[in-house]
Every structure is written in structure tokens, then in C-alpha cells.
Structure 1
Amino acid sequence: MPLHEYLSFRDGELFLDEVSAGRIAREFGTPVFAVSETQLRRDTRRWRRALEDAWPDGPVALLPAFKANTCLALRHVLNGEGVGCDTFGEHELRAALSTGVDPACVSLNGTNKSAEAIRLAIEHGVRITLDSLREVDLVLALTGSAPRPALVRLRLRPGGETLAGPSDFSDRGDSIAGLAAAYRPGFALADAERAARSIVDSIGARLVGTHVHLGRHTTSLATWVGVVSDHVRQIARISAACGGWRPSEIDLGGGYAERGSPVGKAIAGREAPPEPPSPEQYTRVIAQTVRSSLRQHGFDSKGVALQLEPGRAVYGPAGVHLTRVVNVRCSPERPDRRWVELDTTEQFLADVVLEHARYPFVLAGRVSAAPAAPVDLTGASCGFDIIAAGVPAPGDVAAGDLVALLNTGAYVETQTTNFNAFPRPATVLVSGDLAEVIRRAETPAEVFARDRIPARLTGR
């Protein structure tokens, strides 16, 4: 089990910073999400420092994905660390801008962008990562009345021979290449050349760079060498098509795994993915490959800005999900199979299903209890709701025990649903000895607050 810096065990109890897990559960109830501000700042600084050290060639920018955790308080924390963000679509863009993030450090990504999203980005000076010829046309149509030029990049599809390896989150043995090919965003190279010519020849838009996003498929550094090499090859083709255009910035997206990554660890019969590289390893390999690939194609790397979007790697380790044991029962058909029923649900932990995640866990009130026979941690919904199957737990685990699921800071709280009419849990920010609600729990009434019943159905 990974023990991040903000976690400690004191007299058998789990602490986040200076606050016990038990105190959080008592004050805010369970299930509840808790995030360590200390850890979030620590990991953000580490990634930023690693990128700066690896890329002295030009400016750098860390743009953690806003979608990884949309709590506005956490965006304020990252603003204080001087980093920007990747936003997907109009709604994320508006939310991020509302926190006061520097627009020059924001990227508008996403497919099927609305004209309003593009107009808003142009108005604020946000980078627009274009994803299709349709979006090129929208930008060029909107720049005629805009007070400033549109700053755009082209999203190119990832490629490279090293994508032949298996994806960590596929339980069918799919290759990274196969899943990348099935994922729609990004220009085909011929369309990218056409788009680049249109933008370079325009008056109101500036083609400042390119973007590629692989996603969290693997911890292999060799795969990143292939992705980056192929991306620079595509840049060279676009440059030739545009009479020598040069990128001033290259954004290599996200997909960087966090320490203790839970992705893929629940796939039965497969060896668990190896521990992910450190931020220093990721950035060093990526920077070296960008530099050598640019030179191979006749470009000078000096002055080129390098950008990364490590949302999962920044937010993930900072989070803990606290939940209480409601009941322990045995299968009638298989007495050796025990179900530990929790007051949470996979509906609050979507990556258990989507990415076969298995979150490390401890009994937060007695972490020294020795594991015994395997159990299934299960949730409260009407489905199978298996949060972790066949995991070792203390033999005396019982109702009332507090369970802490670790590494839940990214893509967990933001994907919660109201299935079975569950109100979504609160999120608490821990900083030193402070514990404060930054997103309150829903009430049962709020689950149905959007419903409207026509009078004819009520007999009134």
C-alpha cells in the first residue's frame, strides 16, 4: 500500500495531515471524500520543478486537467501554485475562469466545441486546441469581430510503434493502438495540414502549436518515447505543408499515472501494472525525446514552450474516500466468501467499473490489524457493486469499522451519480489541523429537485 507524505499512522489510526480519519467521519459523516491540501501542493510543486529541470530549452507550463477534480476550492489551491489547467468544453472553461486562473495558462480542449466556448476563449486569450475542420471554420468566422487574435493549437492523433502494447484499463487485452484508434478526438494528418494552412493564411488566428493526448493506458516510458517521436514527425509534415511554420509550444497532454495508481489492478488473471515512473522520470524522458526529435527534423528546440496536463498524477494521491462497514455476511453457496458491505457504492467510485481500478485500503481506526482471509468490499447499490474483490482484510472486520480507500483524488468525486437515489457525498479539504467542507453533501430532496410533475398527473 502506498503511504503518501500526508498520510500517517498514529496509535493505530490513520491521519491526513494533522486530522484523524475518525474525526473527519464523525464531523462530516460517511461516505465522504477528503483531500489533503498539503499533498496537492506538494505534488504540484514536484511536477512543476521536474518539468522546469528537464526542459531548460524554453518556457514550461503545467496544466492539470480541471475535469480530474472540479472542486473550485482545489482550483484556487492550484492558482496559488502558479499553474494553469486543461478545460474540456464551455462549462469547465467558465468554471475555471471563475476562480481567477490566468487565462494565458488555460487550454480549451474537447470535441464538438460550441461557438460560445470558442468565443469565450478568444475573448479571454485562452489557448484553443482545435479538434476538427469544423472548429477551424468556427474560429475563423468568429475572429472577424474579436478584439484579439485567436491563439490555437491543433490536436493530432497519437501514434507510434510502441502503442502495440496492452492497455492497463482493458480487461479484453486491447492494445493501446486499438483503443487510441477507436477514440475520435484529433486531426488525421492530411486534415491537420489543411487546417494549418487555413490558420497560417488567416488574419485573425495564430497557430501557436500542437497538442496530443494519449490517456492513462500504460506506465511504460518507452510508449511515451514513441508517442512524442511520432508527434514531432507530424509537426514536421505540417511545417512543410505551411512553408516552414514552426511551433512555439508543444502540449503533450495527460495520461501520466500517479504513485500507487489503482488503474487496471482489479483485472483478474493479469499481472498488476508496475509502479508508475516518478515525475522526474516522466519529464526527463519526454523532454529528451522532444529535443532529439525536433533536431532530427531540423527544428531548434530553443525557445519552444513545453506543456503537460497531469491531472490524475497531481490530484490522485491527495484524496481519500472514507466509508463505514454496515454489515459482514457470508455467501450461502460459498461459505468461504465474505462480503463486507459498506455505506458507499461503486456509483461514487466509477473507475472501479470504467478502468478496473482497485483502490488501496486500510481500516482507518485500527490500521495495524493483520489481514486474514480475502473478502469482497461491496457497496450499497442494487447491482453487484463490488468495489474490491478478493482483497485481504482482518478476520474480525465488523460493522462500524471505518474503511479508507486511498488514491481517490482524481476522477472519483467528479463522476459520482445518483443511481438508486443516493445523495452524493461531501468533499472535505484538510490542511494541517483544519478540515473544511469545500463541496457539501446533497440532501435526499436535492436528488429530485429538478423533477417537475405536470398537474394532470397529480389529479389537482
Structure 2
Amino acid sequence: MSGRVPPGDFAGTSPHWLREPTDVNALVPALWSSTARKADGVLHVGGLAVPDLVADVNTPAYVLDEDDFRSRARAFRDAFDGYDVYYAGKAFLCTELARWVAQEGLSLDVCSNGELSVALRAGVDPARIGYHGNNKTAMELRRAVAAGVGRIIVDSSDEIERLADVAGQLGVVQGVMVRVTAGVEAHTHEFIATAHEDQKFGFSISSGAAFEAVSRVLGHAGLDLRGLHSHIGSQIFDTSGWEVAGRRVLALHARVATELGHVSPELDLGGGFGIAYTTQDDPADPAVLAEQITKIVTAECAALGIAVPHLSIEPGRAIVGPSMCTVYTVGTVKEVALDGGATRTYVSVDGGMSDNLRPALYDADYSCTLASRTSSAAPVLARVVGKHCESGDIVVKDEFLPGDVAPGDLVAVPATGAYGRSMASNYNHALRPPVVAVKDGVARVVVRRETEEDLLATDLG
């Protein structure tokens, strides 16, 4: 322990919310999937010891807890009974998981031709697919319409005309939602707050652009206006933002009925509910969210004297985010001197920003644990970093790990189900990791690790 900060002497070097653990080997249950536990210091998920699990697939590897995913999907489905609950394909999507989504009674959001291909390959009913995106091409729209996608969320005047042309060419009437911005900024990172005015998504309610867009849709015989779509952001922990957003969106809904004679049968309230990445996060229970959002909508509709439309919700990362962890192997450990005589332990692992871009992109915080053994060493303040040639390649900015963490140890990071694999890249020509689904002591690779042959296949030499 020579040269390291003595236990309890981390003032000024760690964030205010991070507390030194009484047991550095213990898990914080709120951060992990429901089947995660430790036995003699070894992390188990889905009834399997993580060291045994990754021995067959190597590291880094994403470990997906099937029971946890399904239980979270059911929790939102049951809490929002009577709603359509749309799983966010952009958070993480593969063929097997898309089947789970359908089996648990959820609908599915996609926002690219590739995501649509996965959904169709999995046998998802196209009528239960919603298609997002701010710049859908004519090819993408044609594919979606031809496939029978239930609703396309239009995002610009150009897209309305483009979609009307496609629907006319195919001789169909296409269900449409109009995405609107309510001018409500959720308490989240600037780049994932999606309802303030100065951003690329949707039509502004306050400027009149949203009403004009609705009028434009209603002017096309090949487009069936199903309703308005509002999304106020991501990683949201309470429903306060929906009070103002709901009032503005429902006022527009009522105005459309009064002035244009169209009573839209549906309303999508978005979602983007938060999860616990660290102990500073306190996500709400789905049942509480459902009760409060329903109350907001019901009260506002009563005040406007209108019927409550059929509602949709999009939980976002809240279903898959906590259901996956990422396992790494430690390669190097070094101590770096900080101001005031303290030190920080830098733990380098065999992955990084190529398998989890969120810390570099959003300055996102994560937690981690030693996954392969127990330790009697005192905790040290550690920073887990990746192997890429970027100073911003940080996996976990601040966490306590045992002071004897060493090369060859396994470290696991919880809550990486959302956007980890989806945003994974080949930066530095890294090979994207596999996704291993675990359930009842059985592991299945549902997305294999990339190979050098995959990497070189598109390089024509």
C-alpha cells in the first residue's frame, strides 16, 4: 500500500457522491441485473460464474441477463396497461432480443434500415413497429411502407412530401405520427435532451410549425395521421417534465380537432426513463411512472374537454440498460500522483471507447467491480481506462477497487446494455465484442465477436 492514499483519505480526489465502501467486494444491487451475485468474490450472472463464461469467448464481452431483460419488459408492459410500450431498438438490438421484445408483448422502435432488417428477420409484426429518424431516405421509406410498418414518425416537411410520394407509388395509406417539440428541456445532458427548440428533431409547437406539419399531413390522401409524438429527453428520473409538455402537446391535439376537424386517435408521450449507472442515480419504479403520467394526461384532457387518446410510451434504455454488463481483463496498473500528495490508481483494460463510447461522448459515469476473485486489500480510488490512443478513453472515471487489483484480474461494469454494443466501433481497428445471453446456467452467444476476416472484408486492398 506504499504511496497509495490511506483508506478514508480521498477528500478532494473523488466526486462528492462516491463513498468509500465498507466491503469493496460487495455488489450494489441497484446497479446490477437481478440475477447478478457474488460468491467468494466471483461475479455470477444468470447462474454462471463470469470467469467461466468469458473463458470461452474471451474479453471484452457483453453479458446479457435474459431473465432480467424479460422481467423489466413485463414490468413496463404491466405498469402501462392499456398503452403501447415501444422498446428502443437503438439502445441495443439483435435478432434474438427482438424476439424477446415481441414475446413479452412490446412494440418496437427502429430508426434505420438496418434496425428494420433485424426486426423483420426476428419475425416482429410490422404493424407493431414504429420508424423514427430525422432524415429518412426515399429508399428507407419505401422499404418501411412496403413492409407494412405500423407508423412512421415524420420529422420534417421534406419527409412528409417524400413519404406521401412513396405511399402514392405503392398505392397504400401509411400511418403517420408527427413529432413535435414542446419546448421542455429535461434535466439531462444537452445532447440527449430532445424537446428544447434549438435541435434537429421535430416541429416546434410554439412557432406554429407543428400545426402546419399536421395540416400538411392531412392534405395527403395517402397519409393517415394517427397522432402527435413528443419526446422530451433521455435518462429522466421523474415526471415533472411531462406536466408542461403534456399540456402543450394536448393543447395542439385539441386545436387540430377544433380547427382542422381531425380527432387523432393516438398520442405518443415518448419516455427516455433513467437507470442507475452509479449510486447517485435513483430511477423511478415503472408503476409510479405510469400512475403519474396517466394522471397528468387524464387531468389535462379533462381540462380541455376532450377524450383521452390511445397512449404510447417509450421507456428507452430503462429495459435493456441494467440487463447487461461488460467484462474486461486488466492489462496494466499504475499509480499517478495528484495535487496535494494523493495518488490515483489507473487500471487499464482490454476494451474502452470502442465498446462503450458514452463516457467519452456524454461524460457518463459508470461503476465497476472486481469480478474474478475476492480481496482482503483496502480499497483504492481507481480510474478504469481503455487501451485506445485517446486520453478521453475512460471506462469508469471514479470507483473504489481493491488495492491489490492486478494484471489478469477481471473487472465488470454494470448497466452497459444501452448504447454500449450499439455505439461500438472499430476505432484503432478493434474487433467489436460478443454478446452472450445467460439464463438458468446456460450461456448462448447471440452476437459473435468480430474477427480479423470481418474487419478486412470491406477493405478492398
TM-score category by the smaller chain?
A: 0.7 to 0.9
- For the pair 1:200 / 2:218, whether they are aligned, the reply is yes
- Where does residue 274 of structure 2 map in the other structure? 257
**Which of the numbers 43, 48, 59 marks the counterpart of 1:14?**
43
- Find the aligned partners of 2:244 and 2:373 in 1 and give their Cα distance: 46
- Find the aligned partners of 1:343 and 1:133 in 2 and give their Cα distance: 46
Q: Is the 8 A contact 1:85 1:309 kept in 2?
A: no
Deviation at residue 154 of structure 1 after TM alignment: 0.5
- Where does residue 315 of structure 1 map in the other structure? 320
- Where does residue 352 of structure 2 map in the other structure? 345
- Where does residue 110 of structure 2 map in the other structure? 87
Matches within 5 A, 1:299-314: 299-301=306-308, 304-314=309-319
- For the pair 1:218 / 2:236, whether they are aligned, the reply is yes
More helix by share: 1
SS at match of 2:196: helix
Deviations 1:87-131 (A, max 9, x none): 103332232122111111110111111122222332333201111
- Find the aligned partners of 2:439 and 2:69 in 1 and give their Cα distance: 10
- Where does residue 56 of structure 1 map in the other structure? none
- Find the aligned partners of 1:296 and 1:115 in 2 and give their Cα distance: 41
**Which of the numbers 106, 114, 117 marks the counterpart of 2:137?**
114
- Find the aligned partners of 2:115 and 2:192 in 1 and give their Cα distance: 31
SS at match of 1:208: strand
Structure 1: unaligned runs, 5 residues or longer: 53-58, 266-271, 454-460
- Where does residue 36 of structure 1 map in the other structure? 65
**AA aligned opposite 1:81:** E
- For the pair 1:74 / 2:94, whether they are aligned, the reply is no
**AA aligned opposite 2:227:** G
Deviation at residue 368 of structure 1 after TM alignment: 6.5
- Find the aligned partners of 1:240 and 1:14 in 2 and give their Cα distance: 59
- Where does residue 269 of structure 1 map in the other structure? none
Deviation at residue 332 of structure 1 after TM alignment: 6.3
Q: Normalization by structure 1: what TM-score?
A: 0.87
- Find the aligned partners of 1:389 and 1:191 in 2 and give their Cα distance: 42
SS at match of 1:67: coil
- Where does residue 145 of structure 1 map in the other structure? 169
Deviation at residue 390 of structure 1 after TM alignment: 3.4
Deviations 1:317-355 (A, max 9, x none): 110100011121122677722211111112211111222
- Find the aligned partners of 1:222 and 1:368 in 2 and give their Cα distance: 43
Q: Is the 8 A contact 1:7 1:16 kept in 2?
A: yes
- For the pair 1:362 / 2:369, whether they are aligned, the reply is yes
**AA aligned opposite 1:325:** V
- Find the aligned partners of 1:407 and 1:31 in 2 and give their Cα distance: 15
- Find the aligned partners of 2:212 and 2:311 in 1 and give their Cα distance: 24
**Which of the numbers 84, 104, 113 marks the counterpart of 2:127?**
104
SS at match of 1:424: coil
- Find the aligned partners of 1:390 and 1:116 in 2 and give their Cα distance: 45
Matches within 5 A, 1:223-242: 223-242=241-260
- Where does residue 406 of structure 1 map in the other structure? 414
**AA aligned opposite 1:402:** L
**Which of the numbers 410, 421, 429 marks the counterpart of 2:437?**
429
- Find the aligned partners of 2:424 and 2:167 in 1 and give their Cα distance: 38
- Where does residue 184 of structure 1 map in the other structure? 200
Deviation at residue 367 of structure 1 after TM alignment: 5.3
1:332 to 1:21, Cα distance in 2 relative to 1, 3 A: same
1:332 to 1:46, Cα distance in 2 relative to 1, 3 A: closer
SS at match of 1:425: coil
Q: Which is further off, 41-50 or 362-371?
A: 362-371
- For the pair 1:168 / 2:188, whether they are aligned, the reply is yes
Q: Which is further off, 200-209 or 313-322?
A: 200-209
- Find the aligned partners of 1:371 and 1:341 in 2 and give their Cα distance: 20
Q: Is the 8 A contact 2:77 2:105 kept in 1?
A: no
SS at match of 1:141: helix
Q: Is the 8 A contact 1:197 1:241 kept in 2?
A: no
- For the pair 1:159 / 2:183, whether they are aligned, the reply is yes
Deviations 1:413-433 (A, max 9, x none): 111111112111111111211
SS at match of 1:181: coil
- Where does residue 457 of structure 1 map in the other structure? none
Deviation at residue 180 of structure 1 after TM alignment: 2.9
1:368 to 1:248, Cα distance in 2 relative to 1, 3 A: farther
Identity in percent: 28
Q: Is the 8 A contact 2:181 2:230 kept in 1?
A: yes
Deviations 1:272-325 (A, max 9, x none): 4x4011111221111111111122222111xx3211122300110110100011
Deviations 1:215-269 (A, max 9, x none): 21532321222222222122223333313x22211112231112x135xx8xxxx
1:198 to 1:182, Cα distance in 2 relative to 1, 3 A: closer
Matches within 5 A, 1:114-133: 114-126=137-149, 127-133=151-157
Q: Is the 8 A contact 1:14 1:367 kept in 2?
A: no
- Find the aligned partners of 2:332 and 2:157 in 1 and give their Cα distance: 55
Q: Is the 8 A contact 2:227 2:264 kept in 1?
A: yes
Structure 2: unaligned runs, 5 residues or longer: 1-27
- Find the aligned partners of 1:371 and 1:417 in 2 and give their Cα distance: 36
1:367 to 1:420, Cα distance in 2 relative to 1, 3 A: same
